[in-house]
């Protein structure tokens, strides 16, 4: 097992890793729309947070020897189901023609400014 740590993504605020490489797969922890430079939530709404979360995921995947095109499973957690369409458009634009399997769940977050969290599993 190899732990991934990159300054190009948000550093963990708790006892977990940005990602782990194991048996040819890269597992990326739940990722928010936080700018890794400022360590602040990006301005805007669900679209901006989705884009930033995907950028953070891309950085962790690359540090683990993978890429967006190698994602096989995604779980998206959104705060408000009415944001699904906007999140989905930003997500689809980021992935291009790649279509991994996905589950989307409406959840409550501990902070009001969090609108989306995304975790992924990718091949190496």
Residues 6+ apart with CB under 8 A from 15: none
Give the global pTM.
0.96
Q: What is the pLDDT of residue 13?
A: 84
- Ordered by where they begin, the domains of the chain are 2-123 (3.30.1330.40)
Question: Distance between CA atoms of 110 and 115, rounded to whole angstroms?
Answer: 11
Q: What is the pLDDT of residues 55-79, one digit of tens each?
A: 999 999 999 999 999 999 999 999 9
Q: Provide φ and ψ at 35, rounded to 5°.
A: -75, 120
Per the DSSP assignment, residues forming a β-bridge with 73 are 101, 121
Residues of the chain with pLDDT under 50: none
């Amino acid at each position: 097992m190899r732990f991934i740590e990159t300054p190009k993504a948000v550093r963990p605020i708790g006892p977990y890793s940005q990602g782990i490489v194991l048996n040819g797969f890269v597992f990326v922890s739940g990722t928010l729309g936080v700018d890794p430079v400022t360590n602040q939530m990006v301005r805007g709404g669900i679209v901006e947070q989705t884009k930033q979360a995907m950028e953070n995921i891309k950085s962790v995947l690359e540090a683990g020897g993978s890429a967006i095109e190698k994602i096989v499973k995604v779980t998206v957690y959104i705060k408000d189901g009415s944001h699904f369409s906007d999140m989905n458009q930003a997500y689809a634009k980021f992935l291009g023609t790649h279509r991994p399997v996905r589950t989307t769940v409406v959840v409550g977050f501990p902070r009001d400014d969090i609108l989306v969290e995304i975790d992924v599993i990718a091949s190496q």
